[in-house]
Structure 1
């Protein structure tokens, strides 16, 4: 239990991922599924950023004196997460655009009703 409380960012990320997964799995509303996917994305970003943070080290921005390689964190995981955020926003925008088109055609965003209308 002690390690669980010292790794609270990782614990929070796992809980968020679970909430997003359950939302994605059990709801038939497309908007709720997109929200669940975004919660899962956020959990993954939080987890990787928490793992990349090292207490006592600074961001690799040199102000004044250089502290050497050991004085700074690795900027690559942060850059990858920024790229991931951009991709997640793009996927969300695309999913919402598809949801709008589905609503225009079927007048609902419930997956079960759309499948009934299609005859599947």
Structure 2
């Protein structure tokens, strides 16, 4: 009997500099590949907006991760993202599981930390 992968969306917000966002996303992907994740995929946004010349889907700074069925990797992922933000990037990461979403910053204040703990509790951690 196999386990089901839990889909988690990570959306990186680094501001308006697309080149910087892409560079940071590449660093994030490289470091995430060292975690015990079922999958790491780029999120692509539908067709390009009308009036643009691009024929490719518009890329956003977001990833779809597959966590093992038990979800035991979720607290590790949250800690990883916080530490990564502290080391690499000025910005934040929005983490979404189903309809539940939370913003992660490098050094959360007390309110954000309590919200993060509640988020983990809701997802069985």
TM superposition score category, shorter chain reference: under 0.3
Q: By percentage of residues, which structure has more helix?
A: 1
Higher relative contact order (Cα pairs below 8 Å, separated by 6+ residues): 2
TM-score w.r.t. the length of structure 2 is 0.25
